[in-house]
Structures are given as C-alpha cells and as structure tokens.
Amino acid sequence: MLNMFSALFLAALVASTITRIWLANRQLRHVGIRRDVVPAAFRDQITPEDHRKAADYTIAKTRLGILDLLYGGLLLLGWTLGGGLEFLDSVWTAANHTSLITGAGVMVSAMLIMSLLDLPFGIYHTFVLEERFGFNRTTIAVFIGDLIKQAILFLVLGVPLALLALWIMQTSGDLWWFYVWAVWMGFSLIMMWAYPAFIAPLFNRFTPLDDQQLRERIQTLLNKCGFRSQGIFVMDGSRRSGHGNAYFTGFGNNKRIVFFDTLLNSLEGAEIEAVLAHELGHFKLKHVQKRMLTLFLMRLAGFALLGWLAGQSWFYTGLGVSRPSDYMALLLFMLTVPVFTFFLQPVLAHLSRKHEFEADDYAVANASGEDLVHALVKMYRENASTLTPDPLYSAFHDSHPPAPVRVAHISANINQSPLEAIT
C-alpha cells in the first residue's frame, strides 16, 4: 500500500536520477568539446591521440553509467514497490524455517540475485568496453573463477554475519542497533587486517619486490618517514587489466605496500618513490584514521536511524513490504539509503580531495614534486584518464582533484608553473 513515505522515496529517486543524468550529460558535453585539444600544460607528455583516447574512454564509461543507472533504478523499484522483496519473503516464510534461518535466507538470496542481475553490466564493461580500449586482459576462465571465489567468500563470511546481526536484533532490546553497529565495525576492522594476508592472495599473486635498487630507495623513504610495513609486494595486476596502480593495505602490524606490475613497468624509480611518498602522506597525516572515524560515525548515525525506522510500519508498507521484520528493515535500509544520501556526495568528495592535496604536499616535502607530476601525468596517460572533466560532475563523483588542478597545486609548491614541472 502506497503512503506518504512511498511518495517521498519516489521523489528522492526521481530527483537523484535526473540529477545524475544531468551531470553525466554535462560530462559528455564537456569532455567531447575538448576532445581534440590537449591542455597546454600537458602537451609535451600527452599526445593528441592519447588525449582523444582518454576522452572516448571517458565518454564510453559515462554512457554505460547512464544505462546502469536507469537499470539500477528499475531494479530498485522492482525490489521495493514492485513486490520483489515481498515475494522472496513469502517463499522463505512458506518453508517454515526458524526466524533466524528465514531472515538470513531472504538476505543472502536477495544479495545473490542482485549480484546476478548486475552481472550483464560487469561482463559488458570487462569484455566489451575495456577490451575496446585495450585494457582488458581478463580471460573468461579468470572472470568465472573470480565470481565463484567471491560467491564462496560471501557465503562463508556473509551468512554467519547475517545470522549474528539478526540474533542481536531479536535479543538485545531497543539498543540492538548499537550492538549491530559495533559488530559491523569490528568485522570491518578484522577484514582490513586479514585482507592482505588471507583474501587478496585468493585473487592475485603477490611477490616481494625483487628490484634491489628500487627496494633500497623505497626503504630509505620509509625510514625517513618513520613508516614500518610487513613488506613491499608486486601484484600481477596485468593478469586482469592494463591499468596501473599502487596502494597500502592492512593496518596495525599487517600493513603492506603493493605495486601493480603494470605501474612498475611504466614509471621510473624516482617517480615510484614520489607516488609512494604521496601514499605515505595519507598515513602520516592520519587520513586513514580520520576516514575510518568518519565512516564509523556515519554508520553509527545510519544504524541509529535504522533502529527507529525498524519500528515504523509505514517504512515497510511504503516500500512494498506488508510484514515488518528485522531482516526486511536491514534490506530496505540498505537499498534505499543511497537514494537519500546522493546529494551528500560533494561534501564527502571535498573532504577526500582535501586529503589528496595534503598528501601531495607531503610528497613534495619528502620526495620530488617534479617526479610526482611526471608520475601522475604518466598514470593519467596509461589509464586513459580525462584531463578535462566537467567541474560539477567531478565535484560529485571524483575523490581526487582533476588533473590540471592537482598538477597546478603541486607545481605551486615547488615554485614552478605546471608547464615547467611537466617538461
């Protein structure tokens, strides 16, 4: 039965969808108009062919994103007002299992079905779009193997977590939402710690960096910055993609530095050092802790809201579910929250960009700003990242500053113009 909350949900869905499409069209126009003109500061390192490839790649991804957005909106309506969750609940309820088994069954089966329904876009993105632009190196066997591993991990980890959350909701009184939040945060921390050693190796091969000269350079930087890790590893990213990247993973005494093999093949030693210095900046400036704290507080607020909504019958009926239950509260909240929080994205993106600028400043102070600029430009080129995103689209979607803005910021810190820094 539709109610006022149904109208509010539909209004938020329409507003966010229209805004997303409007932003995407801005991006298409902005990038398309500038497709044939390389920004002046990048002309010595980015060829017109590279620039056009980045523009075409960005346009193709944006257009696919619009289709994915519309498809996702229709699925959301199908799951909620269309009666999808209601039907799934009736199937499991008819099996006469305990409430815990029924709840976990509905949640797990819904998540698996959602993943299967999203699969066509994943297949198209990997084997059509990425293939078209020369990035895909994933074989069908690897793709299927990844899906099987992900499904097994989901069942092994997700089912016990779902059962525990539902048990807490049924037995912990009015403050169940706080205890579920605490369990969820504890689980997240355990996964962050366990991921580098136990989960990531299921999907990729990690080998110690064998370039002795580069290892010594990196170790010198780590000592300078007072950073201790459990090793420097090279990941076989080329097994799946031509994109390059580097990242830190883990926390506490289980931190690792990981370089994609594709990145090592494209950057010089000094450039790798500069990229690493940027990543070290995130740790030394406590960005990781700040992001974790922000995430924890946001989820605490979310669970508190869920604790209230779970007791409101209109929340369920307004979203197409006639019978209130703990597991339906969790599912409905998970599905609908992104609709209502979309307009907060620029705030979160702004905070992320602030951290990126600060990490760049740290890299300039502890390595070479010139080498950082060279590395970034190479990464933009190798990953076909557009140099000319629409500012408003970028404000909503990009956690990193646009290339010209970022290069200009670094260049100001090393008292050079963007052109001088690149050349």
Please tell me what DSSP assigns to residue 339. H
Which residue's structure tokens are 């960096």? 209
User: Is position 12 within any domain?
Assistant: yes
Higher pLDDT, 249 or 104: 104
Sequence letter at residue 291? R
Distance, first Cα to last Cα, the chain? 65
In this prediction, residue 264 carries a pLDDT of 86
Confidence class for position 419, pLDDT limits 50, 70, 90: very low
CA-closest candidate to residue 135, choices 241, 281, 248: 241
User: Is position 172 within any domain?
Assistant: yes
Report how many domains make up the chain: 1
Q: CB under 8 Å to 183, separation ≥6 — which residues?
A: 161, 164, 165, 168
In this prediction, residue 415 carries a pLDDT of 63
Please tell me what DSSP assigns to residue 249. E
CA-closest candidate to residue 422, choices 359, 369, 357, 384: 369
In this prediction, residue 227 carries a pLDDT of 79
- Between the alpha carbon of residue 304 and those of residues 75, 297, 319, 339, 374, the distances in Å are 27, 10, 19, 18, 46
Confidence class for position 161, pLDDT limits 50, 70, 90: very high
Q: Summarize pLDDT for 288-298 with one digit per residue, the tens.
A: 889 889 999 99
CB atoms closer than 10 angstroms to residue 347: 10
In this prediction, residue 232 carries a pLDDT of 81
In this prediction, residue 195 carries a pLDDT of 86
In this prediction, residue 337 carries a pLDDT of 95
CB atoms closer than 10 angstroms to residue 312: 13
Q: Cα separation of 62 and 129, whole Å?
A: 11
Among the ranges given (110-124, 159-173, 215-229, 406-420), the one the predictor scored with the smallest mean pLDDT: 406-420
Q: Cα separation of 243 and 383, whole Å?
A: 5
In this prediction, residue 135 carries a pLDDT of 93
* pLDDT higher than threshold 90 for residue 215: no
Q: Which domain holds residue 96?
A: 4-176+324-344
DSSP string, 74-94: HHHHHHTTTSHHHHHHHHHHH
User: Is position 167 within any domain?
Assistant: yes
Mean pLDDT over 61-72 rounds to 97
User: Is position 252 within any domain?
Assistant: no
User: Is position 52 within any domain?
Assistant: yes
In this prediction, residue 245 carries a pLDDT of 80
Burial of 116 (0-12, 13-18, 19+ CB in 10 A): exposed
Quick one: the chain helix, strand, coil %, rounded to 5? Answer: 75, 5, 20
DSSP string, 194-239: HIIIIIGGGTS-EEE---HHHHHHHHHHHHHHT---S-EEEE-GGG
Q: Which of 186-200, 207-221, 347-361 has the highest mean pLDDT?
A: 347-361
H or E element in which residue 35 lies: none
Q: Cα separation of 63 and 85, whole Å?
A: 29
The pLDDT mean for the chain works out to: 91
User: Is position 82 within any domain?
Assistant: yes
Q: Summarize pLDDT for 343-396 with one digit per residue, the tens.
A: 999 999 999 999 999 999 999 998 888 999 999 999 999 999 999 999 999 999
In this prediction, residue 401 carries a pLDDT of 92
Confidence class for position 1, pLDDT limits 50, 70, 90: low
pTM of the model: 0.90
User: Is position 379 within any domain?
Assistant: no
Q: Cα separation of 367 and 275, whole Å?
A: 9
Which residue's structure tokens are 């869905």? 13
Q: Cα separation of 281 and 259, whole Å?
A: 17
User: Is position 398 within any domain?
Assistant: no
Mean pLDDT over 86-97 rounds to 93
